[in-house]
Amino acid sequence: MGVIAQALLRWYDKHARDLPWRVRPSARAAGVRSDPYRVWLSEIMLQQTTVAAVIPYFERFTTRWSTVEALAAAEDAQIMAEWAGLGYYARARNLLACARAVASKGGRFPDTEAGLRDLPGIGAYTSAAIAAIAFDRPAVVVDGNVERVMARLHAFESPLPAAKPALYALAERHTPKARPGDHAQAVMDLGATICTPRRPACGVCPVMPACAGRKAGIADRLPAKTPKKPKPIRYGIAYLAYSADGRVFLQRRPERGLLGGMLGLPGTDWSETPPRPAPPFRAKWRPVGEVRHSFTHFHLVLSVAVARVGATHGFVKPELTSLPTVMRKAVAMGLSAFQNVG
């Protein structure tokens, strides 16, 4: 095992973050193994999302569905409702598909990267993370934190995303055959708590003596990144129909596409030019303003129109249903408009 890997593991043994899906180093040393289900669930939830945002979702999911078989038996709508607000809803659909695939094979996850990649929603990073953390396979686990640590440690100045293969090779060089799961989590913890994007705490870094970026005085500006193109803006209209007894009209979105399978307000398509009005039914629709929301590839400007109508099929209490964030914003604006006019 290399000097850097040794230093990282010594640091991790003392300073590992306490996370609900993680087996602490002391427990692993005593023979406690990670639960592949919890490792897989956390890794899917953590894709493009922060640890702080994921923890309450993870705890709710594992309380309600404590095994992969239990999750596989859940209804699609239940999963989508619990996932609401976490974003990137294709992950939720893949989560359920993967759970059902694993459950159909006896509830056991494959213990190799290749086997894991055959499951729905599991790519190169996620398969490596599960293989290393859950099964102690010497897989190379590289996320944004690891890329930052490697770029700084080696003063690697080529910009992302083109630098990804080279940073992967550097991470592979340091990945030990012993305790690869703890090593992977150590590097990620280092990036999350010490080797942070801004103002890295180099003075307490366990690999500071070997850090070429610090020696060159460029650590805080690594990794370099190619400037991103501005996100395009799309426009849409959402229609909030509100009944006298406090219910709103919701529809389930098509399974495929953005926010697929989620409940939401009826409305127009989202396009690069403001759309023509297309209310779901005849009513006295009144525009009340706009909500704005950013997705991965575009910004959305969603106009909200409201109408008070008699309740019919499809009307529900808004506080009793889970909605994606952009729809929550639209409902909140519409309900506020009703309250303001009495």
Model confidence pLDDT, tens digit, residues 84-127: 888 777 888 899 999 999 999 999 999 999 999 999 999 999 99
What H or E segment, with its residue span, contains residue 15?
Answer: helix 3-15
Model confidence pLDDT, tens digit, residues 147-168: 999 999 999 999 999 999 999 9
Token output for 159: 């910009």
Please, which residues have CB within 8 angstroms of residue 204's CB and are 6 or more apart in sequence? 194
3-state DSSP helix/strand/coil % of the chain, to nearest 5: 45, 15, 40
What is residue 321's predicted lDDT score, i.e. its pLDDT? Answer: 58
Return the higher-pLDDT residue of 186 and 229: 186
Assign 228 a pLDDT band (cuts: 50, 70, 90): confident
Give the SS3 label for residue 171: helix
Under the phi-then-psi rule, with left for phi > 0, alpha for psi from -120 to 50, and beta for the rest, what region is 155?
left
Average per-residue pLDDT for the chain: 91
**Distance (Å, rounded) from C-alpha 34 to C-alpha 43?**
13
The percent of residues in the chain predicted with pLDDT above 90, rounded, is 71
Sign for the pseudo-dihedral over CA of 120, 97, 182, 157: positive
Assign 67 a pLDDT band (cuts: 50, 70, 90): very high
Give the SS3 label for residue 339: helix
Active site residue 43: yes
Q: Which of 43, 147, 255, 290 is catalytic?
A: 43
Token output for 318: 């808004």
**Distance (Å, rounded) from C-alpha 165 to C-alpha 162?**
7
pLDDT at 316 over 90: no
Q: Nearest-CA neighbor of 197 among 161, 148, 146, 141? A: 148
Assign 340 a pLDDT band (cuts: 50, 70, 90): low
Work out the average pLDDT over 224-249.
90
pLDDT at 320 over 70: no
pLDDT at 292 over 60: yes
Sign for the pseudo-dihedral over CA of 317, 319, 322, 324: positive
**Distance (Å, rounded) from C-alpha 73 to C-alpha 255?**
19
Q: Exposure pattern of 131-160 as b/e (b: 16+ CB <10 Å)?
A: bbbbbbbbbbbbbebbbbbbbbbbbbeeeb
Assign 48 a pLDDT band (cuts: 50, 70, 90): confident
Whether the model pTM is above 0.85: no
